Structure 1
Amino acid sequence: MYKFYMKNGTAYFYERGVEIDGTVYGIRTDSDILRIKRSVVNSKFAESEEDFDMNVEIAKIQHTGITFEPPTAEQLEQIQAKTFASMSELKQHVQSVMNGETMSQDEINAMLLLKIAEMEVAITNEQTTN
């Protein structure tokens, strides 16, 4: 499992995280755990009219530490070679690299040359039949 965040259009990976109530969060420092717990409490009581003590509610939340599997140096190089304007595009790119679905430039060039050759054959065949 891996978790990443976007900074200036580039993906950076968390080395560790926490799991709280079935949700996994990436963290960089231990102070992130408190920030996440505070956010969980705020979400829980967002629409509630009842009073609550933030410190008591945070203390109730249990978390489990997680160590994430980092990308290989090659994967990281591929991922960080591009910058993106949107998180959704970045997420798609990271997923394709991490799943081994990306193609090298040589593979892309070979596919393009094959398509061009197929189109040339189709055009030649069409011209000879007319």
Structure 2
Amino acid sequence: MYKFHMKNGTAYFYEHGVEIDGTVYGIHTDRDILRIKRRIVNDKFAETDDNFDMDTEIAKIQHTDITFEQPTSEQLSQIQSKTFDSMSDMKQYVQSVMNGELTQDEINAMLLLKIAEMEVAITNEQTTN
């Protein structure tokens, strides 16, 4: 499993993460774990008027450490050579590269090369006749 985020239109991969209640979060440092747990507690008690102790509620939340799969250097350079305007476009591109599929850019390049080869063949045939 891999997890990434977008910064300035570029994909960056998390090396580590945590799983809390079935949801996987990417983290940079251990401080991120506390930030995530605090957000979970805030979301849980946001709609209630109940008094609660933040530290106690955070301590109740268990997490599992995760090490994420990393792209190869070739995959990473291919992914980071593009910038994206939307997270959905980036997600689609990253998934295609990580799965070893041809990207639309690669398909277009192959088609252009094939067209050029055909044009050369036609031109050579016309000049020899």
Whether TM exceeds 0.5 here: the answer is: yes
Which residue of 2 is the match for residue 53 of structure 1?
53
- The 5 Å alignment of 1:1-130 reads 1-103=1-103, 107-112=107-112
1:99 partner letter: N
Q: In 1, are the aligned partners of 2:27 and 2:33 still within 8 Å (CA)?
A: yes
1:50 partner letter: D
2:6 partner letter: M
**Identity across matched positions, percent:** 69
Counterparts of 2:97 and 2:33, CA distance in 1: 29
Structure 1 residue 112 displacement after superposition: 4.0
Runs ≥4 residues deviating over 6 A: none
TM-score (norm 2): 0.81
Counterparts of 2:80 and 2:42, CA distance in 1: 34
TM-score (norm 1): 0.81
- Relative distance call for 1:89 and 1:104 in structure 2 (3 A) is closer
- Relative distance call for 1:106 and 1:60 in structure 2 (3 A) is closer
Counterparts of 1:31 and 1:61, CA distance in 2: 15
- Relative distance call for 1:108 and 1:92 in structure 2 (3 A) is same
Structure 2 residue runs without a partner (length 5+): 118-129
Counterparts of 2:49 and 2:106, CA distance in 1: 61
1:54 partner letter: M
- Paired residues, number: 118
Which residue of 1 is the match for residue 121 of structure 2?
none
